[in-house]
Amino acid sequence: MKWSVFSSSVSGCAGEGTDGYSVPDDFCKVFNHHIEHLYTLAFLLTADHSQAEQCVVGALEECLEGAAIFKDWLLSWSKRAIIKNAIHIVSPSASEARVDSMNRGTGGPIVQSDRYVVGHTIAAAITALQPFDRFVYVLSLLERYSDRECSLLLDSSVAEIARARERSLHHVAAVLTDVDFYQIERRTCRGTEDAEFYHS
């Protein structure tokens, strides 16, 4: 995902910060430098590429229009904006979570290449989760939010967060155990051998 996708959608990126506080240009730089990470976070939460783009644009606009913050907080603040926008777009609800927490209709992989089949499989396992369980998995396990923070963001109880994390861990682990890691290793070795042949 390239910055040019979003640059035409926002304005106000200018100025220089003083006394360690941010200005709009600082957020533009953060989104530009960390766009792959921020987009991946948005996609894992929304499980949909168009919604992920909408989420990133909305988060940047929110950051640009917000009050100045300490520059040390720029990345964490940007990620928080991504999360809040994803929650607004998807509206995950604990009441809709099921025992079968898998959602077969996903937005497609982040990457296509066989070289990244493990990452593809992990992303597919996460995006296949039902929305509430998916948000809990990403926030709790990937972003290291506490159960209390997750419950406040997702308007649910700590007990519901704990149950959703258990469900999501079970299903993601089940998907990952089906990955043929030996086949991946063989493919990687074969690719290395081919490269050595053509360079010899």
Quote the number of domains for the chain: 2
The average pLDDT across 39-51 equals 96
Residue 40 and residue 115 in one domain: no
pLDDT digits (tens, 9 = 90+) for 137-168: 999 999 999 999 999 999 999 999 999 999 99
Residue 28 CB contacts under 8 Å (≥ 6 apart), including other chains = 10, 13, 60, 64
Checking if the pLDDT of 36 tops 70, the result is: yes
Residue 63 and residue 109 in one domain: no
Residue 74 phi, psi (nearest 5): -55, -50
Residue where a domain terminates, one of 48, 64, 90: 90
Handedness of CA 7, 5, 29, 123 (dihedral sign): positive
Residue 121 and residue 200 in one domain: yes
Residue 154 and residue 55 in one domain: no
In this prediction, residue 179 carries a pLDDT of 57
The rounded distance, in Å, linking the Cα atoms of 34 and 56 is 11
Question: What pLDDT band is residue 32 in, cutting at 50, 70 and 90?
Answer: very high
Residue 137 and residue 62 in one domain: no
Q: What is the token pair recorded at 78?
A: 């940007």
pLDDT digits (tens, 9 = 90+) for 72-101: 899 999 999 999 999 999 999 998 865 555
In this prediction, residue 174 carries a pLDDT of 87
The average pLDDT across 5-33 equals 69
Question: What pLDDT band is residue 58 in, cutting at 50, 70 and 90?
Answer: very high
Q: What is the token pair recorded at 183?
A: 């086949």
Q: Is the separation of the CB atoms in 62 and 14 below 8 Å?
A: no
DSSP3 helix / strand / coil % (the chain, rounded to 5)? 70, 0, 30
**Eight-state DSSP code of residue 100:** S
Question: What pLDDT band is residue 189 in, cutting at 50, 70 and 90?
Answer: low
Residue 98 and residue 52 in one domain: no
The rounded distance, in Å, linking the Cα atoms of 188 and 182 is 10
Q: Is the separation of the CB atoms in 154 and 97 below 8 Å?
A: no
The average pLDDT across 186-193 equals 51
Residue where a domain terminates, one of 90, 112, 129: 90
In this prediction, residue 181 carries a pLDDT of 47
**118 or 87, greater pLDDT:** 87
Checking if the pLDDT of 114 tops 80, the result is: no
Q: What is the domain extent for residue 32?
A: 1-90
CATH number at residue 189: 1.10.10.10
In this prediction, residue 43 carries a pLDDT of 96
In this prediction, residue 107 carries a pLDDT of 45
Please report, for residues 122, 175, 191, the alpha-carbon distance to residue 172 in angstroms, rounded to integers and kept in the order given: 7, 5, 28
Residue 102 phi, psi (nearest 5): -95, 140
Checking if the pLDDT of 64 tops 60, the result is: yes
Residues 43-70 as b/e (b if ≥16 CB within 10 A, e otherwise) read bbbbbbbebbbbbbbbbbbbbbeeeebe
Computed over every residue of the chain, the mean pLDDT equals 79
The rounded distance, in Å, linking the Cα atoms of 39 and 82 is 9
